[in-house]
């Protein structure tokens, strides 16, 4: 049985790796999900086969309850709530790691080697930080806690003291096997998870979600050593490393370092408003009919979607509009910024849900050089990812951040509810350019009007 379980765990681990590879592209995402499901099923069945006197009623009840809740939530969650759902899932992974570690140190029949104690310590404190940090991220993303950064005097010093205290109690547990020291270490880590995330503004939330994904993977890997479970170690390491790589990519896209994200502050600056020191700024506005006329007579249109698209659930109507333009000979493409939306890949998922052809969706690096040769850019529900201040204003908090260069197009149409600043709290010079026309209203209603105008 030991040899068979090793082979089955290896098969499950390979399937997890194939799942991650499949999830790297919308075209192969379904296959990737299938690999992950089959791999997890094999891992769970194998674990049952090698368990010593399992409490079937307790385990079966937990699996049934979790499965029912998960199935219900998957069917009812709105796409706008997907980022906070992911954060909530990360919190559960972290909490699981903590509970397994606590159960392990209180297990009277177990004796831990020095290496296992270190693994328990690492898995437990990463899991604890992941749990509370994910809860705060969930609150910020859902609007329950507000998206603004929370800063106070001595914040970084407090984090340093908490981190050193956590490590100190971890050493105390290592030296004395004190269960009390281990629990205090976990309690400090739980507090540290809160103090690390509250100074991070809403604009950095996509990176935070990715970073927490990495944390949850490393927590799972650490506990995998404790349980002597190779598939948990491999799966956790894959999630941890892929999340770290994605966090790095996201930070590059925002011209940020992971250290600066953790220290917070981005999004906390006082934003300029339309009525700045120079008085009210002037912009041009138009109707959906005007916008439809401009795009219907263009040769090329690039659509830049943002979180406002998700909020209004306009992706299906938008794709219908794009198809109508295509039937009239207009070349239509979608431009995706790496941090568009509230989590990595948010816009890609929305467009895939609306059955937008994958070859019509292009990443920032692929499409940026085409904006200057584009007749019309339709910015719908986006703000910070097309803000020219990132390239021109050295005093701007987002200066140096790569953006979609929509301002280089011949004409820009922006669909927004109002002239309010975006999620980062910054005004956007693009909205005040002579080439820009603002169309105000709910994104879905505006796009539905565009569809009517082009269809007739």
Domain 283-455 has CATH 3.40.50.1220: yes
* Residue appearing with tokens 């794009």: 322
Contact at 8 Å (CB) between 324 and 355?
no
What is the predicted pLDDT for the residue at 340? Answer: 81
Q: What CA–CA distances, in Å, run from 226 to 7, 232, 238, 399?
A: 20, 10, 18, 45
Rounded to an integer, what distance in angstroms lies between the CA atom of residue 292 and that of residue 22?
Answer: 38
Supply the pLDDT for residue 202.
65
pLDDT value at residue 276: 47
CA dihedral sign, ordered 38, 41, 43, 49: negative
Q: For residue 280, what pLDDT is reported?
A: 66
User: What is residue 72's predicted lDDT score, i.e. its pLDDT?
Assistant: 92
Q: Within 107-154, where are the H helices?
A: 114-142
| Domain spans of the chain, in order of start | 77-263, 283-455
| pLDDT (0 to 100) of residue 343 | 72
- Distance between CA 74 and CA 56 in Å, rounded? 26
The stretches in the chain having pLDDT less than 50 are: 265-277
Q: What amino acid positions are annotated as catalytic residues?
A: 384
Residue found under tokens 């584009």: 374
HEC sequence for 167-187: HHHHHHHHHHCCHHHHHHHHH
CA distances from 450 to 65, 292, 324, 340 (A): 46, 5, 10, 23
Q: Residue 56 burial by CB count (10 A; 0-12/13-18/19+): exposed, middle or buried?
A: exposed
- Strands 376-380 and 361-363, bridge-based pairing: unpaired
Whole-model pTM: value is: 0.76
Predicted local confidence at residue 438, as pLDDT: 96
């Amino acid at each position: 049985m030991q040899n068979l379980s090793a082979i089955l765990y290896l098969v499950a681990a390979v399937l997890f790796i194939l799942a991650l590879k499949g999830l790297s592209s919308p075209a192969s995402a379904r296959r990737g999900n299938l690999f992950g499901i089959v791999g997890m099923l094999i891992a769970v069945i194998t674990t049952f086969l090698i368990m010593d006197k399992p409490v079937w009623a307790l385990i079966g009840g937990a699996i049934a309850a979790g499965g029912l809740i998960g199935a219900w939530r998957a069917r009812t969650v709105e796409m706008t709530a997907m980022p906070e759902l992911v954060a909530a899932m990360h919190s559960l992974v972290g909490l699981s790691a903590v509970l397994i570690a606590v159960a392990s140190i209180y297990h009277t029949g177990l004796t831990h080697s020095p290496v296992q104690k270190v693994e328990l310590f690492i898995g437990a404190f990463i899991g604890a930080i992941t749990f509370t940090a994910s809860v705060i991220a969930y609150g910020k993303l859902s609007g329950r806690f507000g998206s603004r950064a929370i800063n106070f005097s001595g914040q970084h010093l407090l984090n340093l003291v908490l981190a050193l205290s956590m490590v100190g109690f971890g050493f105390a547990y290592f030296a004395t096997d004190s269960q009390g020291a281990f629990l205090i270490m976990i309690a400090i880590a739980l507090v540290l998870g809160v103090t690390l995330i509250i100074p991070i503004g809403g604009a950095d939330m996509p990176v935070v979600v990715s970073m927490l994904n990495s944390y949850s993977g490393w927590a799972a890997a650490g506990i995998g050593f404790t349980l002597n479970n190779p598939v948990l170690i491999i799966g956790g390491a894959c999630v941890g490393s892929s999340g770290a790589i994605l966090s790095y990519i996201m930070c590059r896209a925002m011209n940020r370092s992971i250290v600066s994200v953790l220290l917070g502050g981005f999004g906390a600056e006082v934003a300029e408003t339309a009525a700045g020191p120079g008085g009210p700024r002037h912009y041009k506005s138009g109707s959906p009919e005007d916008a439809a006329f401009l795009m219907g007579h263009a040769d090329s249109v690039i659509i830049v979607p943002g979180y406002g698209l998700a909020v209004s659930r306009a992706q299906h109507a938008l794709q219908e509009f794009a198809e109508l333009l295509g039937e009239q000979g207009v070349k239509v493409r979608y431009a995706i910024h790496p941090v568009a939306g509230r989590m990595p890949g948010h816009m890609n998922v929305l467009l895939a849900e609306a059955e937008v052809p994958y070859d019509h969706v292009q990443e920032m690096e692929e499409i940026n050089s085409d904006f200057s040769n584009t007749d019309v850019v339709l910015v719908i529900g986006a703000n910070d990812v097309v803000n020219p201040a990132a390239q021109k204003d050295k005093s701007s908090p987002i200066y140096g951040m790569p953006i979609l260069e929509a301002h280089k197009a011949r004409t820009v149409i922006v669909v927004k509810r109002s002239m309010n600043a975006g999620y980062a709290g910054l005004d956007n010079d693009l909205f005040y350019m002579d080439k820009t026309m603002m169309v105000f209203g709910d994104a879905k209603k505006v796009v539905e009007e565009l569809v009517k105008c082009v269809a007739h």
